[in-house]
Structures are given as C-alpha cells and as structure tokens.
Amino acid sequence: MADLGVILGDLDAETRTIDDVVANLPAADWARPTPAEGWTIAHQIAHLAWTDRKALIAAAHPEDWQAEVEELLKAGETYVDDGAAAGAQRPPREILDGWREGRALLAEALAAVPEGQKLPWYGPPMSAASMASARMMETWAHGQDVFDALGLTREPTARLWHIARFGTRTRDFAYKLHSLAPPPEEFRVELTAPDGATWAFGPEDAEQKLTGTALGFCLVVTQRRHPADTDLAAHGADVEEWLGIAQAFAGPPGDGRKPGQFA
C-alpha cells in the first residue's frame, strides 16, 4: 500500500523544483509559449493552482463536490482551458503566491483524510494517497511543459516511481476514454529507474510486456512525448495500442505530442 506521508513529501519536493525555476523569471518569460497549444508558462502554473483548489474541495469539503461539478458543466468542455486562461491574466507574483498557498492547504487536507475514505473527483473516486499521486503526476507533467518552454533539462529522480505506478494503474481508464474495451489480461511493465534499478509492475508471467526507462514511460503516459521519441519497447500488439492512447490524467482524450517535436 502506498504511504501517504511519503507521497506528500515527494509532491512537495516536486513542486519546489518547479517553483525554483519560475520564481525568479522576468515577467516577460511567463508569457513564453509552452508545448501545450495556446498555453504559456503562466497558464501552466495557473492551471496547477486551479487544480489544487479543486482537489482541496474534494479533500476538505467533499459535500460540496457535486455543486462544483454542476457549476463546471455549465461552462462546457472548455472549463479546464478557461480556468487556466483566467488565472494566467493575473500578475506572475500573484499566480505563484496563489499556487504556493493552495498546494500547502491541499497537503494539510490530504494528510487529514481518514484512512479508507474515498474522495470524489472528475474520474473515479480515489483515496487520499491516490489523489496525492495524481497531483504528483500532473505537477510533474506541467512542470515538463515549463522546462521545455525554457529549453531546460530536468534530471529524473526516484519520484518518478509515483508517476510510473499511477500510469500503470490508469491503463484501463485510457481505453475507456477512447470507448475501447481494455484487454482482459494485465501487462508486465519493466522500467529502468534513474539509479539503474528495475521497477516492475504487473504479473511476471504476463504474455505482453513493456520495457524502457521510467522517464520515457512517464513522458508517454502524461502525453509529454510521443512514444516514437522514447526508448520504450512494446512486446505485444495490445501494449503497442496502449502506448498510442495512454493517458494518466483525467478529462477528455489529450492530443499528446507529435513525433520528432523535440528532436
């Protein structure tokens, strides 16, 4: 079972990594475009702040969640983009301060969730540990967009384990997003960790397998790189299909990235 305290500690470290990059950026650099079409660095950080606030409602005030969903449905399918755009209009310092405050409140709220309690979300309800893992995944993914926009390379860390695990656990979710039936058999996923160790998920005797680096896998399941631009190897037709639709984040199917986009 995942340790909530460990995940929250790693989530804090991940957010600080991104915070360190954007904290001293000139205001003009917050307007830099990122690989997400129409999104600047300001959009990326504003989106993280927006999503943390939504997660805070789920964790601290789950009784208000249904009203929150109904309000979003009124806005239509563009509510995520609309939220990022609205937040990005604020001065960079306000965006950053809002993100810092919101993520601190969310960490406190998640730590206080009683064991076994499920939290509502846009996808299936999840535990506090799963919610923290989801925040880790999304924080890392949008952080990648920021690093790419600035032409910076981010060193992979052991924190990728949370994203890799989340990526394997959302396999069937990706199929359902595309109105496809998930394969009945589990896959074996064997990934080379940043320190050279092997992270393995799924049954050892599975007929189909995915191999490669943890970094490559995390980039693909968060749709920050096209599978063709990674070292991932699909051993089986179903695994190859999964790589083309893998999506660890909630919402409609993402557009992903184009082959060779970062060559």
133-152 pLDDT, tens digit per residue, is 999 999 999 999 999 999 99
Contact call for residues 139 and 107 (beta carbons, < 8 A): no
Contact call for residues 201 and 189 (beta carbons, < 8 A): yes
Q: Which pair of structure tokens corresponds to residue 75? A: 């806005």
> What are phi and psi for residue 165, nearest 5 degrees?
-60, -45
Predicted confidence at residue 78, as pLDDT, reads 86
Contact call for residues 99 and 14 (beta carbons, < 8 A): no
What average pLDDT does the chain have? Answer: 95
pLDDT digits (tens, 9 = 90+) for 209-225: 999 999 999 999 999 99
Residue in 166, 174, 176, 171 with CA at minimum distance from that of residue 208: 171
Task: Give the separation between CA 224 and CA 13, rounded to whole angstroms.
Answer: 21
Q: Which pair of structure tokens corresponds to residue 227? A: 């599978």
Residue 144's contacts (CB-CB under 8 Å, 6 or more residues apart) are 154, 219, 222, 224
What CATH superfamily is the domain 2-126?
A: dinb family like domain (1.20.120.450)
Helix, strand, coil: what percent of the chain each, to 5?
55, 10, 35
Between 67-71, 151-155, 169-173, the lowest mean confidence (pLDDT) is in 67-71
Same fold yes or no, 2-126 and 157-243: no
Residue in 190, 138, 186, 185 with CA at minimum distance from that of residue 166: 138
pLDDT (mean) for 190-205? 98
CATH 3.30.1050 given to domain 157-243 = yes
Predicted confidence at residue 254, as pLDDT, reads 85
pLDDT (mean) for 32-50? 97
Contact call for residues 134 and 126 (beta carbons, < 8 A): yes
Pairing state of beta strands 209-213 and 198-201? unpaired
Predicted confidence at residue 250, as pLDDT, reads 84
pLDDT digits (tens, 9 = 90+) for 81-92: 999 999 999 999
Task: Give the separation between CA 45 and CA 187, rounded to whole angstroms.
Answer: 34
Q: 0.75 exceeded by the pTM? A: yes
Q: With a cut of 80, say whether residue 203 has pLDDT above it.
A: yes
Which helix (H) or strand (E) covers residue 132, if one does? Answer: helix 128-150
Predicted confidence at residue 72, as pLDDT, reads 80
CA distances from 137 to 74, 78, 259 (A): 27, 21, 22
Q: With a cut of 80, say whether residue 6 has pLDDT above it.
A: yes
Domain ranges of the chain: 2-126, 157-243
Q: With a cut of 60, say whether residue 1 has pLDDT above it.
A: no
Q: How many residues does the chain have?
A: 263
Task: Give the separation between CA 19 and CA 12, rounded to whole angstroms.
Answer: 10
